[in-house]
Amino acid sequence: MPRREVRWPHAPPHKLDDQHGTYFVTASTYLKRHHFRSAERMEVLHRGLLAVAAEYGWQLISWAVFSNHYHFVARTPDATHLSAMLGKLHEKTAKWVNRLDAQPGRQVWHNYRETHLTIDTSYFARLSYTHQNAVRHGLVPVANQYPWCSAAWFERVASAAHVKTVYGFKTDRLHVPDDFDPSPDW
């Protein structure tokens, strides 16, 4: 079956097909604004991501949620649902945060990027990158201390050998656009 390409202005091309796979996804708020800059807001975004992923059949493997962006690695039986899944998350969280700020109709979310992961080393490097992202951004000294990422869960459920293997993957050669400055107010 030919790949379906969805394009719109000011967005990366989203080349999604109907086959299953593992994807690395990054989404950003509009103008990298810190709409989710408190613990309550981060918790709502975090819960929302977990809920819509489950609803659409995406199995989250790693995730990290911040005040102005998030990353996740997930497996899916049908990649064509990614846009609808993130659309639902973004619509619900935008309406909620806009009600809190008395800013109805304000654009909250900007865009997302997805990478289909087909090589083991790329997969493990992105798992490590996602788990360690709060450390990279200077929010915590140790990844498992950040409450809105999967590092603590991963370290609890995976074998010690698997955790050591994943965390041992170098991420310095990854080309992940991540020039976000998350708010330390969580």
Per-residue burial over 20-52, b = 16 or more CB atoms within 10 Å of its CB, e = otherwise? ebbbbbbbbbeeebbbbbeeebbebbbebbbeb
Domain chopping of the chain, boundaries = 18-167
Distance CA 34, CA 32 (A): 7
Q: Going residue by residue through the chain (186 aa), what tens digit of pLDDT does each one get? A: 444 444 444 434 445 455 678 999 999 999 999 999 999 999 999 999 999 999 999 999 999 999 999 999 999 988 889 999 999 999 999 999 999 999 999 999 998 999 999 888 889 999 999 999 999 889 999 999 999 999 999 999 999 998 999 998 877 766 665 666 766 666
Paired strand residues for 14: 6
Paired strand residues for 61: none
CATH class name, domain 18-167: alpha beta
